[in-house]
Amino acid sequence: MAAEVGGDSGAPKKGKKKGKARKPKKRPRIDMTPMVDLGFLLLTFFVLTTTMTTPNTMPVVVPPKITEKDEVEPPKIAEGKVITLLVGRGKVYYYTGVENPELHQTDFSPKTGIRRVLLNRREEVKDRYGSEDEMIVIIKVMDEAQYKDFVDILDEMNIIQQKKYALVDITKEEADMVSDYKKSVNPS
Amino acid sequence: MSKFKAKKQNIAIDMTPMVDLAFLLITFFMLTVKFRAPEAVEVHLPSSIADTPLPAQDILLISVSQDGRVFFGVDSKHTRLSILEKIRERFGYQFTEKEMQTFSVIAEIGVPFEQLKSYLSYGEAERKIVDKRSSIPVDSVNNQLKQWILFARYSNPKIRIAVRADEAAPYPVIARIIETLKEQKVHRFNLITTREAQPKS
């Protein structure tokens, strides 16, 4: 094929130079269309079946269970450093401190949601304790939540690079607090 | 306005480079393709910014379907057979050669131990029907997932635990699984997610 587009394409060679009778060279032309068809069929198949997105994993560390025989007290932490998140379906309720906590509601939206809240709290903690690493986030996921909410909240921890956080079971008081809050916001 | 007619000409396009390229791509895709193991449950993964790829080996996969059914899977055939052997020892079920063979190729299993033998005797189509409604019990009275994990960790101590749950799976089921893992002193595990771009701060 390359010969066809070569420089001397205009003048076909004649095999008659020295009087020898030569058979005119004939290129056997193979119809490549079926092969190309098949080729592209296979190509399409493999392109479509290949999953380019390899699954990624998010490592999770949960605190060990403290049982009575362990003789260890759960660690005590200063009230001023803590923010507690109660995660519901697509919603996050949060409060700071322990005494008479006031519940607020937010969501997972990137600019105005829980990330903003956590960063603000981090500033507060930094002003008070001198280091932003002091903040401790306590995450309690409610029964109404879906797995997505759970992943989202852990993801927020990774995004703001919050190292100190703990997954804790929700208490009855907190669940009641949330349902009271919901009633106060939406009385119907 | 001069009209001129182009002479009709047979244009021969040299297809060689295109064909070359096509076959190159085919070769590439054929060599890199890794067929996904048939999964018993369809799972829509949530997305996160996590970018650690899942290790290819020594994975214990706990799958949770959208409606909160739990499935168990390990990646290697060897481990699967070893687990089945432990089930036989522990519960006294006898498995035929064919049932063992079936078990060794099932990627994910989601039936209680009591139904395991009959599940393995079914054909593929029937197993699919069972998979649509069965689950490994995880409630605190009858936590069979705990047994499965125990067997798997005995069979392969290096095994790492990954949770592959649907984004709409109810949290209480996830909490049960985490609780089960905690009971066995597994405090570090992986959640499988799809990739999402890191937000700009």
Cβ-count burial of A155 within 10 angstroms (0-12 exposed, 13-18 middle, 19+ buried)?
buried
The answer to whether A154 contacts B48, with C-beta atoms less than 8 Å apart, is yes
Residue B100 has pLDDT above 70, yes or no: yes
Read off the pLDDT of residues B151-192 as tens digits, 9 standing for 90 and up. Answer: 999 888 888 899 989 989 999 999 899 888 988 888 888 888
CB contact under 8 A, B53 and A54: yes
Cα distance between residue B71 and residue B146, in whole Å: 12
User: How close does chain B come to A44, measured CA to CA in Å?
Assistant: 9
Each residue's pLDDT expressed in tens, for chain A with a length of 188 residues: 444 444 444 444 444 445 566 677 777 877 778 888 888 888 888 878 776 556 788 888 887 776 666 666 666 777 778 888 888 888 888 888 776 678 888 888 877 888 888 888 888 888 888 877 788 888 888 888 999 999 889 888 888 888 888 888 888 888 888 888 888 877 66
Of A42, A58, A145, the CB nearest to B193: A58
B160 chain-A contacts, CB cut-off 8 A: none
Contact assessment for residue A140 and residue A86, using Cβ atoms and an 8 Å cutoff: yes
Asked if A38 has any chain B CB less than 8 Å from its own CB, the reply is no
Chain A positions in Cβ-Cβ contact with residue B201 (cut-off 8 Å): 159
Q: How many CB atoms lie within 10 A of CB B29?
A: 18
Query: Which tokens belong to B147?
Result: 């047994």
Phi-psi category of residue A71: left, alpha or beta, with phi > 0 → left and psi -120 to 50 → alpha: left
* Closest partner CB to A65 (pick from B45, B182, B198): B182
- Residue in A50, A143, A150 closest to B33 by CB: A50
User: Where does the pLDDT of residue B2 fall: very low under 50, low under 70, confident under 90, or very high at 90 and above?
Assistant: low
Provide the edge-to-edge strand list for the sheet that holds A165-167: A104-107, A91-96, A82-87, A136-141, A165-167
Write the ipTM.
0.77
Contacts of A169 in chain B (CB under 8 A): 175
What residues contact residue B11 under an 8 Å CB cut-off, 6+ apart?
Answer: none
State the DSSP code for A89: S
Do A36 and B19 lie within an 8 Å CB cutoff?
yes
pTM exceeds 0.80:
no
| CB spacing of B53 vs A64 below 8 angstroms | no
- In chain B, residues with a C-beta closer than 8 Å to the C-beta of A66 are none
Query: How far is Cα A67 from Cα B88, in angstroms, rounded to an integer?
Result: 33
Shortest CB distance from B168 goes to which of A43, A53, A148?
A: A148
Task: Count the neighbouring beta carbons within 10 Å of the beta carbon of residue B76.
Answer: 15
Q: Where are the domains of chain B?
A: 47-195
> HSE (CB half, 13 Å, CA atoms) of A172?
0
Question: Which residues, in sequence order, are CB contacts of B58 under 8 Å at separation 6+?
Answer: B75, B76, B156, B158, B159, B160
Pick the residue from chain A with its C-alpha nearest to B30: A46
Domain ranges for chain A? 79-185
* Residue recorded with tokens 């992986």: B190
Cα-flanking dihedrals φ and ψ of residue A105, to 5°? -125, 140
The second-level CATH assignment, the architecture, of A79-185 is 2-Layer Sandwich (3.30)
CB spacing of A63 vs B189 below 8 angstroms: no
Q: What angle do CA A36, A46, B102 make, to 5 degrees?
A: 135
